[in-house]
Chain A
Amino acid sequence: MSRLDTEHQVETIIGLEVHVQLRTQTKLFCRCSTEFGAPPNTQTCPVCLGLPGALPVINEHAIELAIRTGLALNCEIPPLTKWDRKQYFYPDLPKGYQISQFDLPICADGFLEITDPADDTHTRRIPLVRAHLEEDAGKSMHDEAAGISDTRIDLNRCGTPLLEIVTQPAMRSAAEARAFLSELKLLLTHLGVSDCEMQEGSLRVDANVNLHIEADGKEIATPIVEIKNMNSFRAVERAIEYEVRRQYIDWEDTGETIEDRAKQTRGWDDAAEATFAQREKEESADYRYFPDPDLLPVRLPRERIEAAQATLGELPAATRQRLQSQYDIKAYDADVIVNQGPAMIAYFETTAETAGDGRRASAWMQQDVMRSLKESDWEIGTFPIPAIDLGRLLRKVDAGELDNARARDVFQYMLENDTDAEGAIEALGIVAVDAGEIEALCRELLEANPKVVEQVRGGKEQAIGALIGQAKKKNPNANPQQVKETCLRMIREG
């Protein structure tokens, strides 16, 4: 915590609660659509409206997605899980209770491995407390115009399945919290269990933050603050950074420790770049959890969990390892490719297989492909150059038919003209130059540059570089490597 610039040792303690909307077609306890963006209250029924007499019926697909997620997060999936009512009054909660899971969550323990943001050659294991299923609430839209407070309720979201993932307070920096969220999003999108769009609310994060400060030979903990209302990973990072500074200053001013103050909720104001105290609840909430008598406990036989395990496929962490060993690329490069998601991985692998050279393919991915994506609106899925075409182009480079500079021209042409490598090469007038032509060209250059010849003879082989530029000017298709080798041979042969 060097930025605090204090005489004390300060450790930041961060735990995250992540609410993820599961990508089911229908809601958790009724068959209303979960699609985002419909006109208010058009995706509702007696069940999600909490009308008298309506009863919940579990959506098996949500159970399936929760199991997949739990397994991917190295969780224990218990043989029995059940539903509990979490009771509180709020207008966006029409039943007066939320169906959630209290003491027997569908996923227990577990961990997620992340790349240490302070050292990308190391990984950190972030342990998880649990992950449980629950139904989402509706949305309250407050309109305080003209001095009249008016609240409108949209219950379209009410009943959408959520998986709440709770970490141990195991993260030690804002960057680490952000790295955890990025890795979690990567994993969940890879599994197809969630869209993880913070803007649409399909991923929501609360961060519990406090400090452990070494002072007077003792370790002092500051009061825990739960930060809410963060709408991007960047905001999470900045809110935590802000909160760390605020808590330290607050501790210096007041000396308040965790014993002096109950957990407090603060909201993040993105524009003000500050957290602010939210209205404290009048009394501490007693949710009066009890088992929902309308739903039976869910039995999860071993076979079902094993079947789910079998469908998981390769997870991002394993893909990183495999790309490194199979294509002989660096950890950092594998990380960059994998972090872009399954489509990027597939693109890379096809390119590398076709090119027959993983490192070259990786270098082109990192530079040319990603730069082009960044400069345009393309996703890798809509990138104009098919992986197989890029692979063929790189194979030509590998075979010495093209140099990198010419290959870049071809790449650019392919990008702009919907053509394959052969077509681009032809269109650009790139033709193979035969050995006789090269020899004639080299003889001409050597005769015109006796100084260079002398330097080479004197042992300065790199002097030949001067001739390559000239060769390019005389014949743009001349392969520089070939020109260099031919010139050197001719000098040696004298």
Chain B
Amino acid sequence: MSIPLDSATELLRLQAAGELSAVQITQAALDRIAATEPQISAFTHRADEAAIAAAEKIDRDRSAGLPLGPLAGIPVAVKDVLCTRDMPTTCSSKMLAGYHSPYDATVVARLRQAGAVLVGKTNMDEFAMGASTETSAMGVTGNPWDPSRTPGGSSGGAAAVVAAGNCPLSLGSDTGGSIRQPAAFCSLTGMKPTYGRVSRYGLVAFASSLDQVGPMAWTVEDAALLLQVISGFDPADSTSLDESVPNFASDVAATDVRGLRIGVLRDSLDQEGLEPEVRRAVLEAIDVYRSAGAEIVDVSLPHSHYWVPTYYVIAPCEASSNLSRYDGAHYGYRAAISDAEAAERGPLLATYCKSRDEGFGAEVKRRIMLGTYALSTGYYDAYYLKALKVRRLIRGDFDAAFAQADVLLGPVTPSAAFRLGEKTDDPLQMYLCDLFTVGANLAGIPAVSLPAGFTAEGLPLGVQLQAPPLQEARLIRAGAAFQKLTTHHAQRPTL
């Protein structure tokens, strides 16, 4: 039989019915990975042996009648920004090449606890800084829909492995759109949960007040399965929210959207740079909801034109600080220092400067410099403090919008997946990929990207739903309803 590597729900059912074993599923996933990697290069590390061993244990436990976790026997890939004690954790940076974390991130530990089979770590933009996975020091990842195009970023590898049919689920991280944009580029469902809903412990920090781990899958149903496992309070993360987690399965089943107030972000549809095909996908999604009985209301987020500037102050400021620890002294890359260099600046300063110069890529260095500058005496008030104030206004906009609407509907990205190399020389063009997504990070609210059709060229398009804090369930209901009414999420690339 063919093994449905595109559906965790189906794989769980087939195992429960005794039709498939975890080892069979895992072997199929590993075979598929071996077949597609030459074209998409989505993994930074593949854990074939460990995956088979984990699958064997699941099968043993099942035959012994032991209780099994909610993801028992499901192959899952993990973005290489999450710490794993049995695999390298590199953040796709030369700085951390070969670095082994002595501990598992909380979400990774929860995956193992749930019986998930970890098949490997996925490629990403270096330290999650980028929108195309091209800043990776570990090579370029192709989009399974068209390997000459980007899968998006920074969680490009995590999106590509699901889209390539390697495994049904992956974990990404989203600081400014890094789950939702790749999901849109690869026709996946990708969710950034509420800030604090999912533990950040063991998520290598890019911008601590914005980072959040989230699920990627073909369907809302599968994404909800993974979200269920990773959500919930973690005492090891002080910013984690001590809030109960609803049973998302019941929200997947509740797909009646009659009376649901959907706020349409009209301004974003008139945004300069928004490609017509993306606009059309959003308008079609509005129609789908309207004909299903949802109430469509226009809302506006008056400070949305400040999102990107605010984001590109706050994120680099935090990044410049978070990345200070990579100094060549304790772990990670350390440059060799010549006697002359040691004599010129002293061995310590020379080691710091050269290690960081050689260990980090250009985009990471650019953001470290931006952040260092903005936090410096004399600039702090004008940049960082001002950005914090604008961030409060942005939050206020969302609060006001959610008084009128239950969820907000709009585009995820200005365009479909662009060609590899197309924007690598133009950081500002790359930053504009975040135009519609950074608002949710700045406001700390949950948001999901849903498959919403294709361009004339056959490239995937997405739409974004956003909800008030802790209302992931609302996104799951509205998303599952959309997928009941459409077939976009059922299309597969021919890789």
Q: Is the CB of A94 within 8 A of B330?
A: yes
B285-321 interface with A by 8 A CB criterion? 317-318, 320-321
Q: Is the CB of B238 within 8 A of A51?
A: no
Contact (A53, B201) CB under 8 Å given A46-B103, A286-B377: yes
Contact (A58, B204) CB under 8 Å given A49-B330, A85-B321, A288-B376: no
User: How many residues on B have C-beta within 8 angstroms of the other chain's C-beta atoms?
Assistant: 44
A327 interfacial by beta-carbon distance below 8 Å: no
Main secondary structure of the interface of B (DSSP, over half): loop
Proximity bits, A75-99, B CB within 8 Å = 1, else 0: 0000000000101010100111100
Q: In the complex, which residues of chain B have a beta carbon less than 8 angstroms from the beta carbon of A294?
A: 205, 208, 238-239
Q: In the complex, which residues of chain A have a beta carbon less than 8 angstroms from the beta carbon of B380?
A: 288, 290
A373 interfacial by beta-carbon distance below 8 Å: no
Proximity bits, B344-355, A CB within 8 Å = 1, else 0: 000110001000
Q: In the complex, which residues of chain A have a beta carbon less than 8 angstroms from the beta carbon of B377?
A: 286, 288
Q: In the complex, which residues of chain B have a beta carbon less than 8 angstroms from the beta carbon of A50?
A: 325, 330
B202 interfacial by beta-carbon distance below 8 Å: yes
Q: Is the CB of B324 within 8 A of A89?
A: yes
Distance (whole angstroms) from the CB of A66 to the closest CB of chain B: 18
Q: Which residue of A lies closest to B196 (CB)?
A: A296
Distance (whole angstroms) from the CB of B396 to the closest CB of chain A: 20
**Residue in A46, A49, A56, A96 with the greatest tally of chain B CB atoms within 10 Å:** A96
**Residue in A50, A55, A57, A153 with the greatest tally of chain B CB atoms within 10 Å:** A55
For the side of the interface on A, what is the size category? 20 to 34
Distance (whole angstroms) from the CB of A146 to the closest CB of chain B: 15
Q: In the bound complex, what is the Cα–Cα distance between A46 and B317 (angstroms)?
A: 23
Q: Is the CB of A52 within 8 A of B83?
A: yes
Q: In the bound complex, what is the Cα–Cα distance between A94 and B105 (angstroms)?
A: 20
A96-137 interface with B by 8 A CB criterion? 96-97
A277 interfacial by beta-carbon distance below 8 Å: no
Proximity bits, B441-479, A CB within 8 Å = 1, else 0: 000000000000000000000000000000000000000
Q: In the bound complex, what is the Cα–Cα distance between A89 and B89 (angstroms)?
A: 23
Q: In the complex, which residues of chain A have a beta carbon less than 8 angstroms from the beta carbon of B200?
A: 55
Q: Which residue of B lies closest to A29 (CB)?
A: B238
Q: Which residue of B lies closest to A151 (CB)?
A: B348
Q: In the bound complex, what is the Cα–Cα distance between A153 and B330 (angstroms)?
A: 9
A441-481 interface with B by 8 A CB criterion? none
Q: In the bound complex, what is the Cα–Cα distance between A288 and B205 (angstroms)?
A: 18
Q: Is the CB of B238 within 8 A of A149?
A: no
B99 interfacial by beta-carbon distance below 8 Å: yes
Q: In the complex, which residues of chain B have a beta carbon less than 8 angstroms from the beta carbon of A87?
A: 321, 324, 375
Q: In the bound complex, what is the Cα–Cα distance between A481 and B204 (angstroms)?
A: 85
Q: In the bound complex, what is the Cα–Cα distance between A87 and B380 (angstroms)?
A: 14
Q: In the complex, which residues of chain A have a beta carbon less than 8 angstroms from the beta carbon of B329?
A: 91, 94, 153
B101 interfacial by beta-carbon distance below 8 Å: yes
A295 interfacial by beta-carbon distance below 8 Å: yes
Q: Is the CB of A290 within 8 A of B317?
A: yes
Q: Which residue of B lies closest to A50 (CB)?
A: B325
Q: In the complex, which residues of chain A have a beta carbon less than 8 angstroms from the beta carbon of B208?
A: 293-294
Q: In the complex, which residues of chain B have a beta carbon less than 8 angstroms from the beta carbon of A288?
A: 320-321, 372, 375-377, 380
Q: Is the CB of A290 within 8 A of B375?
A: yes
B96-127 interface with A by 8 A CB criterion? 96, 99, 101-103, 105
Q: Is the CB of B91 within 8 A of A95?
A: no
Q: Is the CB of B235 within 8 A of A57?
A: yes
Q: In the bound complex, what is the Cα–Cα distance between A149 and B320 (angstroms)?
A: 30
Distance (whole angstroms) from the CB of B236 to the closest CB of chain A: 6
Q: In the complex, which residues of chain A have a beta carbon less than 8 angstroms from the beta carbon of B96?
A: 52
**Residue in B89, B204, B238, B317 with the greatest tally of chain A CB atoms within 10 Å:** B238
Q: Is the CB of A97 within 8 A of B321?
A: yes
Q: Is the CB of A53 within 8 A of B325?
A: no
Q: Is the CB of A290 within 8 A of B238?
A: no
Q: Is the CB of A52 within 8 A of B375?
A: no
Contact (A57, B238) CB under 8 Å given A89-B352, A149-B347, A294-B208: yes
A54 interfacial by beta-carbon distance below 8 Å: yes
Q: In the complex, which residues of chain A have a beta carbon less than 8 angstroms from the beta carbon of B330?
A: 49-50, 91, 94, 153
A281-317 interface with B by 8 A CB criterion? 286, 288, 290, 293-296
Q: In the bound complex, what is the Cα–Cα distance between A58 and B209 (angstroms)?
A: 17
Q: Is the CB of B324 within 8 A of A296?
A: no
A57 interface neighbour in B236, B325, B347, B384, Cβ under 8 Å: B236
Q: Which residue of B lies closest to A288 (CB)?
A: B375
Q: Which residue of A lies closest to B234 (CB)?
A: A55
Distance (whole angstroms) from the CB of B122 to the closest CB of chain A: 16
A328-351 interface with B by 8 A CB criterion? none
Q: In the bound complex, what is the Cα–Cα distance between A46 and B83 (angstroms)?
A: 11
B22 interfacial by beta-carbon distance below 8 Å: no
Q: Which residue of A lies closest to B347 (CB)?
A: A149
Q: Which residue of B lies closest to A285 (CB)?
A: B377
6 A–B contacts, CB within 8 A, in A order? A52-B99, A54-B201, A55-B201, A87-B321, A97-B321, A288-B376
Besides A51-B102, A51-B331, 11 new A-B residue pairs in contact (Cβ under 8 A), listed by A number = A51-B101, A55-B200, A57-B235, A94-B325, A95-B325, A96-B325, A149-B347, A153-B329, A288-B372, A288-B376, A294-B239
Q: Which A-B residue pairs are the 8 nearest by beta carbons? A: A96-B324, A293-B208, A293-B209, A288-B375, A53-B202, A52-B204, A53-B83, A53-B204
